[in-house]
Amino acid sequence: MDKAEQILAALGGADNIVEIEPCATRLRTEVHDSSLVDEKALKAAGAFGVISAGTVVQVVVGPEADTIATDIEDLM
Amino acid sequence: MTQLDVLAPVPGRVVALAEVPDPVFAQELVGPGLAVDPDRTGVAVAVAPVAGRMVKLHPHAFVIQTADGAGVLTHLGIDTVQLAGEGFELHVAEGDDVSAGAPVVTWNPAAVEAGGRSPVIPVIALDAAPDSVVARQAEGPVAAGGVLFTWSR
């Protein structure tokens, strides 16, 4: 799996994503069910950190966020 | 080892990243650095903190990569991605080579603040070791183009 596939899987898969939006440093994601989010797997996929607040999960991936978000959208 | 001087993109007050109201920057998740709380003097021009190629350019944030591969992120305000570019005028294009101190973005820190967002500007040494950034500028006033910190790499 490439990075985008790993991150999507760790967020609980395409069905769990409400919205995914890139910022300069992170993917801002809203999920249906935050219990399906696997922080360990996100870090294993290369995330520098994960900041969760309810169903909003910010995956810190650095400046490649826009490229990764496009790749994830292509998978969905 | 080389020493890279990273310049302040705007005039303002130097603050530690720990004071930035965003956990990604405050916890140095994308790298160490310093932040500038910009002067609220109306429309202002943010300049390039280092010379290099503009490898990522958003209206509210940009990354310059130096010739030897150091990446420096400048992020104009917190949560400013939500403004979708409104109030930010770019003077360069992605892929352009810029010199240190060259104008990059015109914006208005006071307007960002009036919209309920912090206009503080984290300047980040991407992928740097935490101890490789030497704070040259003590917390306090800084001029645009003044040395903000030195990155040993």
Q: What is the pLDDT of residues B66-109, one digit of tens each?
A: 999 999 999 999 999 999 999 999 999 999 999 999 999 999 99
- Is A21 one of the catalytic residues? no
Q: Domain of A55?
A: 3-75
State how many domains chain A has: 1
Return the pLDDT at A1. 75
Computed on alpha carbons and rounded to an integer, the radius of gyration of chain B in Å comes to: 14
Percent of chain B with pLDDT over 70: 100
**Band of pLDDT at residue B136, cut at 50, 70 and 90:** confident
> Which pLDDT band holds residue B116 (cuts at 50, 70, 90)?
very high
Cβ separation B23–A62 shorter than 8 A: no
CATH code, residues B3-152: 2.70.70.10
Using a CB–CB cutoff of 8 Å, tell me whether B30 touches chain A. Answer: yes
Distance CA B25, CA B36 (A): 13
Assess contact for B52 and B63: CB atoms under 8 A: no
Give me the CATH number covering residue A28: 3.30.1360.60
| pLDDT for the residue numbered A51 | 93
Q: Tell me if B105 sits within 8 A of B90, measured CB to CB.
A: yes
Residues in A touching B71 (Cβ below 8 Å): 63
B128, pLDDT greater than 80: yes
Nearest to A63 among B27, B29, B63 (CB): B63
CB A48 within 8 A of CB A61: yes
pLDDT in the model for residue B140:
86
